[in-house]
Homo-oligomer: A and B are copies of this chain.
Amino acid sequence: MKDDKIKSLDMLFKPRNVVIFEAKQKVGYFIEGLKTQGFNLENLYLISPSKEEVSGLKCNDSFDDIPIDTIDLLILSVKRELVVQSLKEIFAKKKVKFIHFFTAGMGESDEEGLKIENQIREILENPEISTKAIGPNCFGIYCPSGKNAYMPFFPSESGNIALISHSGDMLSRSVGNGALIYNLRFSKGASIGNCVSLQVSDFLEYFNQDDETDIIFIYFEGFSRYEKREGRIFFNLMKEMRKPVLILRGGKTKRGQSAVLTHTGSLGTNEKIWDAIYKQTPLIEVGSSIEEIIDHLYLFNYFYKKNRNLALEEQISNFPKGKNALVIIWSGGIGIVDTDVLTELGFNLPLFDGNVKEKLMSIYQVKIGSLSNPLDLPWVSRSEKYLELCKVAISENIDLVIMHTDARFGRNLKKRLENLMKIKEYVESLNKMLILILPETPEKNRIRYYRALIENGFIVFPELKRAGKAYLSLYNYGKKISRMENKF
């Protein structure tokens, strides 16, 4: 950390004890979250002078009644008028490592809230207090390996993706939809709100050293008003990062920036500064929806699951090599639209050279479909011929193979799956990438087929443009990181 007051954020993510003050119905989610993660409830202390029980757990009247001297994580949810007074009273009685200021209606709200934030900051800056905090105006922490979560629907299984978010909502949706749609799992997540104490860069630095984390995503609204050096620190840190960091910036439009002010009160940044950051660091920007976030995390995660144990040099050589795509379809019209979409995204669709074309013709010997790129092979996806044709078409100058597949014509899916497995094996033996496109429809067949594909290690996207964008980001990240590595 910048001021060396604490060595790490371990106790924030994996607290030995958690105290909630004041316990009331609104914090029920937090209690349910801890329960579903299997947090030892003997180490959870609820404090409420007015309530006997919350979420089925007994409350304590005051901090005097709890048998610990050092609180690892204090969740403070008193109303704003009581925050400063409460802090003083608590610090008089207990040591506190981390505070999660849940209370909202602060700096994002009005002058009065801003004043309270400044008072909090003053208290925390007292050199005798070594407490760090997230918030105010934030949902809190997620860390399955620490049995810690603020929402009951978060998976209790650990993964390798860490999230930093100015918005609890964006964090919850990324975790929730990522888990449901792509079966993503996460190492850690922090909703950090108005950033009166801990900043984005604190988490970035921590995750960079965290063995549980391979990929980092930031939902970002602006640099905090409380840390003038934060922009510079972030920039310098990003230059050193050797784990992929993806960012979605809220408030990029002028009108969006005015909305940010009422959300976390963060400060806007000149677009030119961001251009410089993207150019000089490996930071990767993702679009403007939850879908794009989880699409990106899904593909990066796929890559790092395969490559995480390799040395950086080897990892680098495994990134996608270029933007030459081969599209294999089972019927013509979608191939035309695909060609437009991929071309507009910046892909090339190389045409086959004479040699390859001749080989394809000698195998296919049918007039329907098209032995071009997109390679249109109707009616044959279950045959030996299909396998042969695909192998010939996946020539040296192809980087990415995109195949459309569909569960609607459900007969003999097994034979088709066998073919796909062999094509996948072949593509991977050439160190190229295969992405399947399976449209998202609420059919039983689709769900069954999708599961079979995922179990067999395929990358499956619901839509081409989404797949193309995620691939380009992985490609661009590989290019950036290899350029930066070669500088050293």
Counting contact residues on chain A (CB < 8 A from B), the size range is: 35 or more
Number of copies: 2
Which chain B residue shows the least CB distance to A29? Answer: B409
Q: Mark A253-284, 1 if CB is under 8 A from B, else 0.
A: 11110011011100000000000000000000
The answer on a CB contact under 8 Å between A180 and B442 is yes
Check A177/B439 contact, CB under 8 A, given A253-B344, A336-B256. Answer: yes
Q: Which chain A residues in 430-446 approach chain B with CB under 8 Å? A: 439-443
Asked whether A91 is an interface residue with its Cβ less than 8 Å from the other chain, the reply is no
Contacts of A447 in B (CB 8 A): 442
The answer on a CB contact under 8 Å between A288 and B341 is yes
A68 to chain B, nearest CB (A): 30
Contacts of A344 in B (CB 8 A): 253, 288
8 Å CB contact of A337 from B176, B289, B348, B374: B289
Contacts of A221 in B (CB 8 A): 333, 336
Asked whether A463 is an interface residue with its Cβ less than 8 Å from the other chain, the reply is yes
Check A105/B290 contact, CB under 8 A, given A251-B336, A333-B168, A408-B153. Answer: no
The answer on a CB contact under 8 Å between B333 and A166 is yes
Contacts of A26 in B (CB 8 A): 379
Asked whether A349 is an interface residue with its Cβ less than 8 Å from the other chain, the reply is yes
Contacts of A259 in B (CB 8 A): 335-336, 339, 349, 372, 374
Check A463/B291 contact, CB under 8 A, given A169-B331, A368-B104. Answer: yes
A189 to chain B, nearest CB (A): 13
A343 to chain B, nearest CB (A): 4
A134 to chain B, nearest CB (A): 15
A263 to chain B, nearest CB (A): 4
The answer on a CB contact under 8 Å between B340 and A262 is no
Asked whether A248 is an interface residue with its Cβ less than 8 Å from the other chain, the reply is yes
Task: Report how far A251 CA is from B344 CA in the complex, Å.
Answer: 11
Which chain B residue shows the least CB distance to A440? Answer: B440
Q: Which chain A residues in 285-335 approach chain B with CB under 8 Å? A: 288-291, 331-335
Asked whether A479 is an interface residue with its Cβ less than 8 Å from the other chain, the reply is no
Q: Which chain A residues in 94-131 approach chain B with CB under 8 Å? A: 104-105, 108-110, 113
Q: DSSP majority for the A interface?
A: mixed
Q: Which chain A residues in 152-176 approach chain B with CB under 8 Å? A: 153, 165-173, 176
Asked whether A21 is an interface residue with its Cβ less than 8 Å from the other chain, the reply is no
8 Å CB contact of A465 from B289, B333, B349, B370: B289
The answer on a CB contact under 8 Å between A181 and B442 is yes
Contacts of A464 in B (CB 8 A): 289
Contacts of A335 in B (CB 8 A): 259, 263
Which chain B residue shows the least CB distance to A447? Answer: B442
The answer on a CB contact under 8 Å between B443 and A180 is yes
Task: Report how far A289 CA is from B366 CA in the complex, Å.
Answer: 29
A356 to chain B, nearest CB (A): 15
Which chain B residue shows the least CB distance to A373? Answer: B259
Contacts of A288 in B (CB 8 A): 337, 340-341, 344, 465
Residues of A within 8 A of B (CB): 26, 80, 104-105, 108-110, 113, 153, 165-173, 176-177, 180-181, 219, 221, 248, 250-256, 259-260, 262-264, 288-291, 331-337, 339-341, 343-344, 348-349, 366-370, 372, 374, 376, 379, 408, 439-443, 447, 463-465
Chain A to chain B contacts (Cβ below 8 Å), 18 pairs:
A113-B367, A166-B333, A167-B332, A167-B336, A169-B333, A170-B337, A171-B333, A177-B441, A180-B443, A221-B333, A248-B337, A259-B339, A259-B372, A288-B340, A288-B344, A288-B465, A289-B464, A291-B463
